[in-house]
Amino acid sequence: MPAARPLPETGSIFLDARGADRALRVSWHSEADIVVLSLWRDNLCTGSFRLAVEEVPDLIDLLRTGLAQSYAAVRRPDAWDDTAIRPSTATG
């Protein structure tokens, strides 16, 4: 099996929550104006996606929004309580 190529100077590896044998590699390729997101299993690339640099801000915004919503739910445990969204039956 061929060894994985080293990351460019600007890049990172994120390990999958299911185990260290799975990873996401993010590598910037400024010479081509792209960011490559690649999925790895052990030392084998199983898939990749080339994202144009001008689309990166949209991805960042999406990740920020999801993170903010996630934190809001963690800070407010009642946020998932379905009784909080039921209309009140009290009169008065």
Q: Taking residues 8-12, what's their average pLDDT?
A: 79
pTM for the model stands at 0.66
Q: Taking residues 5-20, what's their average pLDDT?
A: 82
Characterize the bridge pairing of strands 19-29 and 11-16.
Answer: antiparallel
Contacts of 21 (CB under 8 A, 6+ apart): 41, 42
Decide if 54 is inside a domain. yes
Decide if 4 is inside a domain. no
Domain that holds residue 34: 11-77
Decide if 92 is inside a domain. no
Q: Which of 59 and 74 is assigned the larger pLDDT?
A: 59
Count CB atoms within 10 A of the CB of residue 77.
8
